[in-house]
């Protein structure tokens, strides 16, 4: 039986998440985008909806062929998602050959999917290889995380290690660390490929001087990762470089990870 898409729990949660991200100051103007794989079993009625328009995909999306994706509109403002979700969000079905996406709902008035569709679809592909329950990719311009990329070494190891030291939950929440990319031009397939390469081993990929991507099995999980990374980066920015008198030392990070039984990146510590 068809249901009102706006009433669907996944849509309600997506709308709420966009509002929360806007209010945290992470999605100014048209900054940021979200895409979410919709459970085909639960919302199979989507397959009966007519395709309103088709978008060609310039990269290979065959690993997500046939899947339904809720995505933010290119150029949309997160601030406006709660006010007019059908304008600012869309539901796509990736074609069986992975070369196009059919619009089933939303993007009213000629809208297109997010400009970062390559990074999203390629990241979904990478994360699904690691985690069959993977569902969500989010991108935002979390202020302190971006600030940190100006004053911190950008290797995955050094960046992850500092974030882990900034508060005790970090190694528990992201024991695999975070991936960091140097500055690149946004919206390109090149940055999409580089992001997906990081997503093979991490659920968080930081874009230096730009923002952060996070992936998870639910909106809560992806959003929670963003919050934790941004909290750690905020502490780093607040304490200032060189002013550190106390920190979480490597043998303590090891005990912490062992106490919470997380499989952390041991080569990120110097023991």
- Exposed/middle/buried for residue 59 (C-beta within 10 Å: 0-12, 13-18, 19+): middle
Give the residues across from 138 on adjacent strands: 34, 214
112 touches ligand 2HA by CB under 6 A: no
Closest residue to ligand 2HA, judged by C-beta, is 186
The active-site residue out of 13, 40, 110, 116 is: 116
- Is 116 one of the annotated active-site residues of the chain? yes
User: Which of 68, 116, 160, 222 touches ligand 2HA (CB under 6 A)?
Assistant: 116
Q: How far is the CB of 32 from ligand 2HA (least distance, A)?
A: 5
Q: What does 33 bind: Zn ion, ligand 2HA, none (CB cut-off 5 to 8 Å by kind)?
A: ligand 2HA
CA quadruple 248, 252, 256, 259: dihedral, nearest 10: -160
Nearest to 167 by CA among 228, 251, 238, 258: 228
Query: Which of 172, 53, 72 has its CA nearest to residue 113?
Result: 72
Nearest to 234 by CA among 173, 162, 177, 184: 162
Spatial distance between the Cα atoms of 104 and 88, rounded to a whole number of angstroms: 14
Answer yes or no whether residue 33 interacts with ligand 2HA by CB under 6 A. yes
CB of 118 to Zn ion, least distance (A): 13
Q: Which residues contact 171 (CB under 8 A, 6 or more apart)?
A: 164, 253, 256, 257, 260, 262, 264
Asked if 102 touches ligand 2HA (CB under 6 A), the answer is no
Q: Which stretch binds ligand 2HA (CB under 6 A): 9-17, 109-117, 172-180, 263-271?
A: 109-117
Count the Cβ atoms, other than its own, within 10 Å of residue 184: 16
Kindly state the smallest distance separating residue 75's Cβ from ligand 2HA, in Å.
7
Over the window 205 to 234, marking each residue x when it contacts Zn ion by CB under 5 A and - when it does not, the resulting string is ------x-----------------------
Strands 136-140 and 179-181: unpaired
Cβ nearer to ligand 2HA, comparing 76 with 160: 76
- Per-residue binding string, ligand 2HA, 2-31, x by CB under 6 A, is ----------------------------xx
Name the residues annotated as catalytic.
116
Q: Which residues would be at the binding site for ligand 2HA (CB under 6 A)? A: 30-33, 114-116, 139, 186-187
């Amino acid at each position: 039986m068809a249901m009102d898409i706006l009433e669907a729990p996944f849509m309600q949660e997506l709308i709420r998440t966009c509002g929360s991200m806007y209010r945290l100051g992470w999605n100014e103007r048209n900054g940021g985008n979200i895409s979410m794989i919709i459970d085909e079993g639960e919302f199979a009625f989507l397959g009966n909806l007519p395709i309103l328009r088709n978008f060609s995909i310039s990269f290979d999306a065959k690993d997500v062929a046939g899947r339904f994706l809720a995505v933010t509109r290119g150029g949309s403002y997160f601030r406006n998602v709660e006010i007019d979700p059908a304008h600012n969000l869309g539901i796509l079905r990736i074609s069986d050959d992975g070369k196009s996406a059919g619009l089933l709902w939303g993007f009213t008035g000629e809208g297109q999917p997010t400009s970062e569709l390559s990074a999203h679809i390629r990241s979904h592909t990478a994360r699904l290889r690691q985690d069959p329950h993977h569902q969500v990719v989010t991108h935002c311009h979390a202020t302190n995380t971006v600030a940190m990329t100006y004053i911190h070494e950008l290797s995955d190891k050094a960046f992850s290690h500092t974030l882990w030291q900034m508060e005790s939950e970090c190694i528990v929440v992201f024991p695999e660390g975070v991936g960091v990319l140097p500055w690149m031009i946004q919206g390109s397939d090149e940055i999409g490929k580089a992001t997906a390469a990081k997503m093979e081993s991490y659920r968080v990929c930081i874009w230096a001087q730009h923002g952060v991507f996070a992936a998870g099995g639910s909106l809560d999980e992806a959003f929670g990762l963003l919050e934790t990374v941004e909290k750690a980066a905020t502490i780093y920015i607040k304490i200032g470089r060189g002013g550190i008198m106390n920190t979480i030392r490597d043998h303590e990070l090891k005990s912490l990870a062992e106490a919470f039984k997380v499989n952390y990146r041991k080569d990120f510590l110097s023991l």
